[in-house]
């Protein structure tokens, strides 16, 4: 069995190793990794969160976060990267959560690409975070292996640390009664409509990263569809309740007045 250790990092050698790991994950040269060793050094020295995950002594994941707004309540997780498929990313987030709670913080925020299904599932279903804001082309043009060829739209997710672990099943939340699609996957392409229902579904593509390489126009169509639907609903005060069937954002149009999620199927 492998042994996983997560600890805060403090030396330039450790930060340079993180740069190399991030370069491997994002498909860039170490000199153009998503964050530099010097910035990590400054953040760590100022008391922010910079941690690495070591599997049998080998660096396999890392996370960088800094204090955000509102001051004294929020930690903003800027970047987390890990070898996939071994639960390292989840272990890092739980370590980060414990670190934040020890310092009296109430929530952790971060941004992610709303089109990447595995990230949406991880953030909403496994952690219980919820999207709060749609950010169009947040990082401008990016040319790494993951984001290249697409605009850098992101959603700002917030993780309320006072809430218990998510109660949703492995496939997310049940489908609300009367829910209607604003975006539906139709043979790999987004099909848009304008439902008047209180509960709105926004489908995601199977694999947007592969689609960018294989069919750039289709990937672009998904970007615009999710931007207009999910972005528009959030701008109007809609509340994302969770993810259904690892595919569909479930959005409640009205703000959270004493509302409850209707029972339904979870197929």
Instruction: Output DSSP code: residue 236.
Output: T
Same domain, 97 and 217: no
Domain boundary among 160, 193, 218: 160
Q: 21 phi and psi, to 5 degrees?
A: -60, -45
Interval 227-257: pLDDT, tens: 999 999 999 999 999 999 999 999 999 754 3
**Higher per-residue pLDDT: 207 or 167:** 207
Tell me, yes or no, whether 42 and 118 share the same domain.
Answer: yes
> What is the pLDDT at residue 166?
67
pLDDT of residue 261: 38
Q: For residues 214 and 140, is the Cβ–Cβ distance under 8 A?
A: no
Whether the pLDDT of residue 264 is over 80: the answer is no
Stronger pLDDT, 262 or 82, i.e. the higher one = 82
| Same domain assignment for residues 88 and 186 | no
Does residue 231 sit in the same domain as residue 152?
no
147 and 217 together in one domain: no
- The reply to whether 259 falls in a domain is no
Tokens of 55: 């599997």
Give the residue from 160, 192, 209 where a domain finishes. 160
- Would 56 be classed as within a structural domain? yes
Question: How many domains, in total, are found in the chain?
Answer: 2
Q: How many CB atoms lie within 10 A of CB 73?
A: 14
Is the same domain home to 36 and 142?
yes
Query: Do 126 and 224 sit in the same domain of this protein?
Result: no
For residue range 14-64, what is the model confidence (pLDDT) as tens digits?
Answer: 999 999 999 999 888 888 889 999 999 999 999 999 999 999 999 999 999
Give the structural domain span for 91. 4-160
- Nearest-angstrom CA–CA distance, 60 and 238: 37
* Residue 123 domain flag: yes
pLDDT tens digits for range 56-111: 999 999 999 999 999 999 999 999 999 988 899 999 999 999 999 999 999 999 99
129 located within any domain? yes
pLDDT > 90 fraction of the chain, expressed in percent and rounded: 78
110 assigned to some structural domain: yes
| Residue 148 pLDDT exceeds 60 | no
Residues 18 and 149 in one domain: yes
178-192: average pLDDT: 96
Q: Distance of alpha carbon 179 from its chain centroid, rounded?
A: 24
- In the structure encoding, which two tokens stand for residue 159, read together? 């993780």
Q: Is the pLDDT of residue 150 over 80?
A: no
> Same structural domain for residues 128 and 190?
no
Predicted pLDDT at 139? 84
Q: CA 232 to CA 52: how far, in whole Å?
A: 37
Structural domain includes residue 38: yes
Nearest to 232 by CA among 188, 174, 183, 175: 183
Please name the residues in contact with 77: beta carbons below 8 A apart, sequence gap of 6 or more: 49, 63, 64, 65, 93, 96, 108, 109, 110
Residue 169 binned pLDDT confidence (cut-offs 50, 70, 90)? confident
Band of residue 115 on the pLDDT scale cut at 50, 70, 90: very high
Interior angle at CA 74, CA 242 and CA 22, nearest 5: 75
Q: Are residues 149 and 225 in the same domain?
A: no
Q: Does residue 263 lie within any of the structural domains?
A: no
The residue out of 126, 160, 194 marking a domain boundary is 160
Average pLDDT over the chain, rounded to whole?
A: 90
Which phi-psi region, left, alpha or beta, contains residue 142 (left: φ > 0; alpha: ψ -120 to 50)? beta
Domain shared by 218 and 112, yes or no: no
pLDDT surpasses 50 at 118: yes
SS3 at position 97: helix
Task: Tell me whether residue 258 is in a domain.
Answer: no
- Does residue 102 sit in the same domain as residue 27? yes
User: What pLDDT sits at residue 259?
Assistant: 37
**Residue 135 confidence (pLDDT) above 70:** yes
Global pTM exceeds 0.75: yes
């Amino acid at each position: 069995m492998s042994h996983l250790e997560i600890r805060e990092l403090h030396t330039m050698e450790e930060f340079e190793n993180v740069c190399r790991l991030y370069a491997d994950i994002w498909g860039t040269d170490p000199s153009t990794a998503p964050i530099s060793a010097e910035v990590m050094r400054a953040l760590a020295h100022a008391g922010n969160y910079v941690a690495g995950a070591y599997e049998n002594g080998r660096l396999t994941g890392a996370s960088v976060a800094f204090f955000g707004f509102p001051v004294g309540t929020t930690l903003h997780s800027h970047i987390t990267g890990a070898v996939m498929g071994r639960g390292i990313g989840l272990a890092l987030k739980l370590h980060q959560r414990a670190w934040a709670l020890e310092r009296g913080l109430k929530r952790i925020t971060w941004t992610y690409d709303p089109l990447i299904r595995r990230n949406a599932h991880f953030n909403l279903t496994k952690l219980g975070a919820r999207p709060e804001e749609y950010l169009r082309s947040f990082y401008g043009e990016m040319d790494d292996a993951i984001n290249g060829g697409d605009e850098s739209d992101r959603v700002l997710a917030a993780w309320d640390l006072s809430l218990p672990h998510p109660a949703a099943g492995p496939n997310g939340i049940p489908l609300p009664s009367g829910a209607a699609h604003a975006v539906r996957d139709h043979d790999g392409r987004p099909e848009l409509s304008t439902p008047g229902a209180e509960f709105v579904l926004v489908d995601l593509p199977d694999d947007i990263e592969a689609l960018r390489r294989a069919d750039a126009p289709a990937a672009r169509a998904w970007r615009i569809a999710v931007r207009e639907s999910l972005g528009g609903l959030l701008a109007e005060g809609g509340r994302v309740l969770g993810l259904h069937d690892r595919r569909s954002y479930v959005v409640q149009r009205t703000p959270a007045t004493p509302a409850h999620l209707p029972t339904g199927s979870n197929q």
